[in-house]
Amino acid sequence: MTPQGDQFVWQTLVSHFGPERVNGIASSRRRFASHLLPDLQAAIVAEVAPFDAALLGFHQPYDHEAPTMSGLLLRDGHSVVAIAPLQYQDLDVGEEEPFAALKDGLWLFRVQDVPVAILLSRYNDFFSNSQLTQVEIAYVPGDASSAFARDFLQRVQAAGEVSRLYRGKVLSFEAGSDYSGMRAEMLVHKLPKVARDDVILAEETMARLDQHVFEFDRHRAALKGLGQSTRKGILLYGPPGTGKTHVIRYISSTLADHTTVLITAEQVTNLTRYMTLARTLQPSIVVLEDVDLVGRSRDSMNSPNTEVLLNRLLNEMDGLRADADILFILTTNRPEDIEEALASRPGRVDEAIELPLPDAACRQRLMALYGRALTFEDGAEADAVALSEGVSAAFMKEMVRRLAQRALARDGTAQVRRDDIAAVFGDATSRPSRLNRRIVGIVEQPRKAPPADECC
């Protein structure tokens, strides 16, 4: 469909639409967030498949300017657009194979013998300081072609709203790279699957998770039928190292049909963008870690910007429709610092679940979990439990690793003796350095009772 010898896009468009009609074509376009590019591209490919469309690449002179059909038709000067090879970038969308995303593409085809062109482009928006994806369709005005263009844009927009490629995955807008060369604005996390047996918590705590997360999810449709809200907020709190992140991975693994959106305190400035993603990919889980850094008491705020972020968080949690299938999970090590407006109002946080330091029974299970590849001398595990009163789950995990290292250094086996337990646990718990004790997960007891926790 592209005549031999054409060097510029305008020449191909004139050939496609005809010299008599090219100046009378109409076009419509829509703009989307850049992370939707794979979904939009897949939708376009599916739409044009029945029409034997030709795909053309071109050179985009300026990344901060969105290519348009009218711009592609410029015929002289520095703005004339040259035909160029198709440019693809591999994007990680959480599948076994990356998605080959087009930077710019122009499809040319005919609908009932009427010429149509579709432009897909990605560019850096100067005003929003972010990347955007644009879809534009050009056609010769007429009833059939106008209807096709309208229906086409509606179907493409629906593909973006559904976003099948990212549904049910763990996502964030973090900047980063795994050196694979597949960087994108949205990161798909490959978190390890966590089974129920790998979550070492007291039975009472597990029962509360079951009731307020999994049982609530099972009854969501019935609750909607009874006119009840299906949005929910959970606060996970407790000392560092007690497993809050581990529990989040367990919830995400168990609710595999949910899309999990991860927000750190540093990224909460993009809260509106995250919430748009969460609403698009419902049912979803929105995780905001260290919420006390944003939702701290207004009395302790040292910047008006902090209060603005808190107000945005409250507005997003309040502004959801009652039938929104969104579960908020907030975490904190300092529940006493959380602003009352966030913690005490139902509909924002409905339940606060404490993840305490593991008791003796839990420490025994932690030893069995992390030391399943080791062999313990009779009485060794009991010694470890006795020597670890008041420590975190993270401490137990680190101590098992040190026991394994000590056994390997001694005789290259996986045999842990009682004297290994005494040496490793004694070394860690008897250190006078407060910093070292905190690093390995020993929680210092407060010198005085903290303020009453009003989150519960």
- Contact criterion met (CB below 8 Å) for 205 and 354: yes
Listed in sequence order, the residues at least 6 apart from 302 whose beta carbon sits closer than 8 Å to its beta carbon are none
What is 316-377 written as a DSSP string? HHHHS-TT--EEEEEEES-GGGB-HHHHSSTTT--EEEE-----HHHHHHHHHHHTTTSEE-
Do 202 and 349 sit in the same domain of this protein?
yes
Residue 319 φ/ψ, nearest 5 degrees: -80, -5
Mean pLDDT of 281-298: 78
> 283 preceded by cis ω (within 30°)?
yes
CATH number at 271 reads: 3.40.50.300
Do 259 and 400 sit in the same domain of this protein?
no
Length of the chain: 456
Q: Which of 48-62, 171-185, 286-300 shows the highest mean pLDDT?
A: 48-62
Do 206 and 306 sit in the same domain of this protein?
yes
* Stretch among 203-212, 310-319, 379-388 having the lowest mean pLDDT: 310-319
Listed in sequence order, the residues at least 6 apart from 366 whose beta carbon sits closer than 8 Å to its beta carbon are 200, 358, 393, 396, 397, 400
Listed in sequence order, the residues at least 6 apart from 416 whose beta carbon sits closer than 8 Å to its beta carbon are 371, 374, 375, 376, 377, 380, 403, 404, 406, 407
Whole-model pTM?
Answer: 0.80
Structure tokens belonging to residue 298: 């207004």
Residue with the bigger pLDDT between 202 and 269: it is 202
Do 19 and 150 sit in the same domain of this protein?
yes
pLDDT at 178: 56
Average pLDDT, the chain: 85
Do 214 and 86 sit in the same domain of this protein?
no
Do 252 and 349 sit in the same domain of this protein?
yes
Listed in sequence order, the residues at least 6 apart from 255 whose beta carbon sits closer than 8 Å to its beta carbon are 213, 214, 217, 283, 285, 327
pLDDT-derived band of residue 268, with 50, 70 and 90 as boundaries?
A: confident
* Burial degree of 452 (CB within 10 A; 0-12, 13-18, 19+): exposed
pLDDT at 446: 46
Mean pLDDT of 298-314: 58
pLDDT-derived band of residue 62, with 50, 70 and 90 as boundaries?
A: confident
Do 133 and 255 sit in the same domain of this protein?
no
Q: What is the pLDDT of residues 112-165, one digit of tens each?
A: 899 999 999 988 877 766 778 999 999 999 988 999 999 999 999 999 888 888
Mean pLDDT of 171-191: 73
**Pairing relation of β-strands 351-354 and 375-376?**
unpaired
pLDDT-derived band of residue 267, with 50, 70 and 90 as boundaries?
A: confident
In the predicted model, is pLDDT for residue 449 greater than 70? no
Do 270 and 320 sit in the same domain of this protein?
yes
Mean pLDDT of 316-337: 80
* Stretch among 171-180, 222-231, 421-430 having the lowest mean pLDDT: 171-180
Q: What is the pLDDT of residues 344-355, one digit of tens each?
A: 555 578 888 999
β-sheet bridge partners, residue 121: 104, 134
Q: Which residue among 162, 180, 196 closes a domain? A: 162
Q: ∠ CA(328), CA(295), CA(267), 5° rounding?
A: 70
Do 99 and 237 sit in the same domain of this protein?
no
In the predicted model, is pLDDT for residue 65 greater than 50? yes
pLDDT-derived band of residue 186, with 50, 70 and 90 as boundaries?
A: confident
Q: What is the DSSP letter of 212?
A: I
Which residue range forms the structural domain that includes residue 415?
360-439
Do 132 and 220 sit in the same domain of this protein?
no
CATH number at 401 reads: 1.10.8.60
